[in-house]
Amino acid sequence: MTKPSGSSTTDKHARITEQGDQHQASSADTPLLPQAFERSEEEKMAIIAKAFGTIMETLGLDLRDDSLQGTPARVAKMYVQEIFRGLDPANFPEISVFDNKYDYRRMLVERNIAVKSTCEHHFQPILGKAHIGYIANGKVIGLSKLNRIVDYFARRPQVQERMTKQILLTLQQALGTQDVIVLVDAKHMCVTHRGIEDQDSSTLTIEYSGQFSQTDLREEFLRYVQLGIS
């Protein structure tokens, strides 16, 4: 339903909240401010620590307690240097590609790559596995680089659909081929620990291009990652 042009700020906030609850992404690019990289890590951690301390005090926690007084700084360091380090392009992994000297022209599949990400709508963990397949077009990539690319895009506030596409686009560029497929199977703590609190469901996202647009090749890939396709 189209909202009237004079919709209130409350209506706008309701629509934004609904978009977040439905896990909708607006772009294949992570939304970043133009000045996202102007501050140093130390400056970011100082600001985050102060803000998180305010959150804790607002919740009624006593930061004078020995167990709590270091928490704001620990959270700030964790955000900047660990779980959100994928926001900084300086942390993009060095990608090594090699000539396909063996002339291997079949599908190569890397299964069960760990996904440790964070839902950008509720800042709750996303945990699961990624499965990648590609057909070499003159170049092959070091196997560990596939894991590092997944980890890089996972370590930022994310929407699973966007993350899946970001991995695909990066591999297309690195390998110089459209013959790439990426599947992610993950559990979202914003589903299991809040809202509906469904402990058993997981989310599957898939992106593919090139030869993987052919149904038989996609089904072969899915058989390799053992997702019940016979």
Higher pLDDT, 215 or 198: 215
In 3D space, the residue among 150, 130, 119, 128 whose CA is nearest the CA of residue 202 turns out to be 128
Summarised one tens digit per residue, pLDDT across range 145-158 is 999 999 999 999 99
Q: Quick one: which of 96, 99, 158, 148 has its CA closest to 127?
A: 158
Given the residues 110, 160, 166, 207, select the one marked as catalytic: 160
**The domain 36-83 belongs to what CATH superfamily?**
GTP cyclohydrolase I, N-terminal domain (1.10.286.10)
94 is a catalytic site residue: no
Per-residue confidence band for 200, with pLDDT thresholds at 50, 70 and 90:
confident
SS (H, E, C) 78-95: HHHHHHCHHHCHHHCCCC
Q: Is the pLDDT of residue 29 over 80?
A: yes
Q: Is 121 a catalytic residue?
A: yes
pLDDT one-digit tens code per residue, 58-90: 999 999 999 999 999 999 999 999 999 999 999
Whether 12 shows a pLDDT value over 80: the answer reads no
Mean per-residue pLDDT, 33-56: 97
Annotation says 119 is catalytic:
yes
In this predicted structure, the answer to whether residue 22 has a pLDDT above a threshold of 80 is no
Catalytic pick among 110, 131, 166, 188 = 188
The catalytic position among 131, 166, 190, 207 is: 190
Fold classification of 95-224 (topology level):
GTP Cyclohydrolase I, domain 2 (3.30.1130)
> What's the mean pLDDT in 188-213?
93
Which sign, positive or negative, has the C-alpha torsion 8, 9, 11, 12?
positive
Determine whether 211 is exposed, middle or buried from the number of CB atoms within 10 Å of its CB (0-12, 13-18, 19+).
middle
The answer to whether 226 is a known catalytic residue is no
Predicted confidence (pLDDT) at residue 49 exceeds the cutoff of 90: yes
pTM of the shown model: 0.85
pLDDT band at 96 (very low <50, low <70, confident <90, very high): confident
Do 36-83 and 95-224 have matching folds? no
Q: Domain-by-domain residue ranges, the chain?
A: 36-83, 95-224
Please pick, among 120, 131, 158, 166, the residue that the annotation labels catalytic. Answer: 120
Strands 203-208 and 139-141: unpaired
193 is catalytic: no
